Amino acid sequence: MSSLELANYVGASALLLLLGSTAQAQAATPPVGQPLFGEWDRLNSTGSPPAVSEHEVMHFGVEGNTWVGRYDKHPEPALGFANPPEGRYGVFIGADATGFVCQPAFPFYPCQNVVEVVEGTTRYYPPHQPPFDVRQQTIVVRDENGQEVMWQYWISPGNFACPWYRTFDEALAANPFPTHGDCVFPVTTHDQREQPSVRGTPSPGVH
């Protein structure tokens, strides 16, 4: 990690404090033109029983041109999830994407309902292991009924994309038990990486 990137991570810690408590972030209204802002929830299950399922949470905030996010996990003992959950957390630093490519593997292809794309790096801190970095895009899609889904695209390492929802209730409704795998893998193939990708026509507001 470069000194500039390290400085960004140090600055991110201060910016995360501005997000306030979880309750404040839940109540926050996304600024106009910035639908990524606020809390997103995911049921990480992929067909597993509740005992090894997880309630993942991302909180996003923005200051100037810099987006920052915090990743962690919430306990759900009433659903039979592990309590406490595995202690991995993460910090995201990014900015509006300038070269978004609408991949044919995306479930929302050809991307006419994409309203915001932010690209950056998440540094994950797994317990008792060294941290690692993942280059990611967070892609907000809004359907004709106004419902928003955030697809988190792990570009490298990873090459997969998974859906996140505005509330955990929405995440449970979208993938009730017994769950199914709801991530897309792989997003790109070797042949696609060697050839120009198909570009979509995102809605206004996508950079």
Q: Are 132 and 124 in contact, with CB atoms under 8 Å apart?
A: yes
pLDDT of residue 191: 53
Question: Could you please report the per-residue DSSP string of 80-112?
Answer: T--SSPP--EEEEEEEE-SS----TTSTTTT-T
Helices (H), the chain: 3-18, 22-27, 168-174, 190-194
Q: Which tokens belong to 137?
A: 């895009």
* Spatial distance between the Cα atoms of 66 and 80, rounded to a whole number of angstroms: 37
* Spatial distance between the Cα atoms of 52 and 80, rounded to a whole number of angstroms: 9
* Spatial distance between the Cα atoms of 161 and 185, rounded to a whole number of angstroms: 7
pLDDT of residue 28: 55
Question: Structure pTM?
Answer: 0.82
Per-position pLDDT tens, the chain of length 207 = 443 454 455 455 555 554 543 334 444 566 778 999 999 999 998 666 788 899 999 999 999 999 999 999 999 999 999 899 999 999 999 999 998 999 999 999 999 999 999 999 999 999 999 999 999 999 999 999 999 999 999 999 999 999 999 999 999 999 988 888 899 999 998 655 433 333 333 333 443
